[in-house]
Structure 1
Amino acid sequence: MGIPLIVRAVRERIPVVVQRNSPGRRAAVRGLWTGAELVVTLGVVLLLLVAHQLWWTNRQAREGAERQVRALQEDWGQDRGVGAPVVEPPEDGQGDESGAGGQNGQEPERPAPDRTAAPAAPVAPTAPRWDQAYAVLRIPRLGLTAPVAQGISKRGVLDKGYVGHYPRTAQPGQAGNFAVAGHRNTHGEPFRRIDRLRRGDRITVETRDAVYTYTVDNSLAQTSPSDSGVIAAVPRSNVRTAVGYSAPGYYLTLTTCTPEFTSRYRLIVWGKLTAMRPR
């Protein structure tokens, strides 16, 4: 009885279903795999691009800017006037501190102080050629030292980590507005922290002939890129007309993009010339 049952079971084979990948399924798998590879590759490329923009361009531009500052100083000859004191105009109401009075011990009469006067500046040299670095800007509060070049082109000036001088604005120490621009992010980002400047902070501009000291006086947190009034000879915003100046003077204007990592608006810092010394 048992043998026929075994034979019958062998003869009645259990069907085995073999699943095979259809062409459509294989194509879908290949597509998903290729897509995943592309996403990973794109992610790596983006990371490399970010590293290049945020690290490599800064390093490269800063090194180049430092070399340019050293080259300018060597060209000018640093043995001339190193350490010479900065002569500042006396404060209103102050005079000779030596204690010497006039005749009979009376204080001599002095003319009323001119509140609109600025330190006398030497005769301005001829305008530097395009993209030429010709001055050094220093902001002690920010620990910033950067060369100043003629023009505001990206490739020739700003992307080198330089500060760019706006054409048709005054040169350092001249009456009017010495207006400059600098990157806030990437390529050396010399103006990354100018939003931290406060009224009374000092900014110096050194040229072959003199060192000019400007004192921060005002700022504009945000304005349009087309607001040309901020770099006018008498700087005053065309967008926020209550911000700026109304009288001629000796001004310095720093401009950069804002918010960070965008170029939608401009951040402005203004200063006034308060001292100069010949080199």
Structure 2
Amino acid sequence: MRVPVVQHSSRRRLARRRRVWWAGGEVLVTVGLVLLLLVVHQLWWTNREARRGAERKVEALEREWGGGGAGNRTGDGDDSATSVPSTPARPSDGIGSPDTPDTPDTRDTRTGQQAVTARQSRPTWSQAYAVLSIPRLGLRVPVAEGVSKQNVLNKGYVGHYRGTGQPGQAGNFALAGHRNTHGEPFRYLNRLRAKDVVEVETRSATYTYAVDRTLPQTSARDSGVVRPIPRSVVKPRYGYSEPGYYITLTTCTPEYTSKYRLVVWGKLVSVRPR
């Protein structure tokens, strides 16, 4: 009977292989845990912190303005609400903030209808100065000037595109918000339907818009959607051809990517002074 002989060199090689495999397994487990923590941070922690910060800012704005939110004053038969024509008498000059009440003091001599014009000054860069409410989405978040990720969007705020109109102005009040992470205020923007209510509350008034049209997907560089008369330059059949009082809401699509943009448009239907 032959007895197998195991050489010491073979044992050493097997031991080295085991150590290599063990070390490799530990590295893979460590990398997996780090990636998991990163995912948790992005998908949970950033949302938690941004939402808390946004809620605190909304509360601070309401205290500063000295009253409850826009939702507390919404209702049918509000005699203080002023209706707005679909076509303005003339475009409002300049870009500004809603520090001064907007009053329907411009009359279209051709139609006899009233139009709202805004006499406003520029808001401070990255400063929250309004509150956006979308009842269908259960959303109520601050609106800040600019669309900087670090100073605005990553705080859970909605950002105002610099150079577009302000609430209540003739033209286009254009906003951007995250769809995923950092509060993701526009996570469910695709759920909005025609006639859904979008409200923008400022120090001086509450502006109510009604959702009118949706552009499901366009290029991230489609600048036409935020022009004073919004119309996609990528898909020209989407948009408008006449001046009006518009709001534009933009976010990334599909979810968890930033390749394309989803766009929702609305029209101003009423103004309620505070």
Q: Deviations over 1:21-80 (max 9, x none)?
A: 444333222111111001111111111111111110000000000000000010011179
Give the TM-score taking structure 1 as reference length: 0.82
Match of residue 66, structure 2, among 58, 61, 77: 77
* Pairing 1:89–2:77 present: no
Aligned residue in 1 for 2:262: 267
SS at 1:213 equivalent: strand
After superposition, the CA RMSD in angstroms is 2.6
Instruction: Decide whether the 8 Å contact of 1:203 with 1:215 is kept in 2.
Output: yes
Instruction: Decide whether the 8 Å contact of 1:119 with 1:274 is kept in 2.
Output: no
Aligned residue in 1 for 2:101: none
More strand by share: 2
Cα distance in 2 for residues equivalent to 1:266 and 1:118: 34
Aligned residue in 1 for 2:142: 147
**Which amino acid in the other structure matches residue 123 of structure 1?**
R
Q: CA 1:225–1:165 in 2, change beyond 3 Å: closer, same or farther? A: same
Cα distance in 2 for residues equivalent to 1:248 and 1:90: 13
Aligned residue in 2 for 1:101: none
* Pairing 1:123–2:83 present: no
Q: CA 1:79–1:216 in 2, change beyond 3 Å: closer, same or farther? A: closer
Q: CA deviation at 1:89?
A: 2.7
SS at 2:221 equivalent: coil
Q: CA 1:239–1:210 in 2, change beyond 3 Å: closer, same or farther? A: same
**Which amino acid in the other structure matches residue 67 of structure 1?**
R
Aligned residue in 2 for 1:104: none
Cα distance in 2 for residues equivalent to 1:190 and 1:250: 23
Query: 131-140 or 31-40: which moved more?
Result: 31-40
Instruction: Decide whether the 8 Å contact of 2:62 with 2:69 is kept in 1.
Output: no
Aligned residue in 1 for 2:170: 175
Q: CA deviation at 1:119?
A: 4.8
Q: Deviations over 1:81-140 (max 9, x none)?
A: 963735253999xxxxxxxxxxxxxxxxxx99959x67524422x111111000000000
**Which amino acid in the other structure matches residue 5 of structure 2?**
V
Cα distance in 1 for residues equivalent to 2:3 and 2:219: 78
Identity %: 57
Aligned residue in 2 for 1:161: 156
Cα distance in 1 for residues equivalent to 2:114 and 2:159: 24
Aligned residue in 1 for 2:57: 68
**Which amino acid in the other structure matches residue 256 of structure 1?**
T
Cα distance in 2 for residues equivalent to 1:48 and 1:162: 24
Cα distance in 1 for residues equivalent to 2:183 and 2:243: 33
Q: CA 1:121–1:213 in 2, change beyond 3 Å: closer, same or farther? A: farther
SS at 1:27 equivalent: helix
Question: Number of paired residues?
Answer: 247
Aligned residue in 2 for 1:228: 223
Which runs of no fewer than 5 residues in structure 1 stay unpaired? 1-12, 93-110
